């Protein structure tokens, strides 16, 4: 099983190859505890993911909350080697051109 850092760097390379021009940002867990590791900006869409070494890796405090929150806003997921292909397929649906962005109400 690869180290989480190796898996994450390989996954980011795959995302950047599949989505030329995408920006993959590292978040700061010290600013908001539990926020997903990475934010992907692509065109007028965004997604987030929390990389884990395996599907049995523990979740840190608040990670489930923020992955669910971000998934309701756009798309977010936990990703690990066992679901990488499913994640990439779902990401393709979330970032596809012509997909209507969810709009928030009340500015």
pLDDT along the chain (107 residues), means of 10: 84 95 94 95 95 93 96 95 95 80 46
Q: Which structural domains are found in the chain, ordered by start? A: 4-95 (3.40.1350.10)
Report pLDDT for 25. 97
Report pLDDT for 104. 45
**Sheet (strand 76-79) strand order:** 23-26, 38-42, 45-51, 76-79
Report pLDDT for 43. 92
- The DSSP code sequence of the chain is ---HHHHHHHHHHHHHHHSTT-EEEEP-TTTSTT--SEEEEETTEEEEEEE-SSTTSPPPTTHHHHHHHHHHHS-EEEE-GGGHHHHHHHHHHHH-TTPPPP--S--
């Amino acid at each position: 099983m690869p180290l989480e850092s190796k898996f994450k760097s390989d996954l980011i390379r795959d995302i950047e190859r599949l989505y030329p021009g995408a920006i993959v940002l590292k978040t700061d867990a010290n600013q908001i505890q539990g926020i997903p590791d990475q934010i992907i900006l692509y065109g007028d869409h965004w997604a987030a993911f929390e990389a884990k070494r395996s599907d049995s890796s523990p979740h840190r405090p608040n990670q489930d909350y923020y992955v669910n929150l971000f998934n309701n806003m756009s798309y977010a997921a936990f990703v690990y080697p066992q679901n990488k292909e499913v994640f990439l397929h779902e990401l393709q649906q979330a970032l596809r051109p012509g997909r209507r962005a969810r709009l928030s109400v009340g500015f």
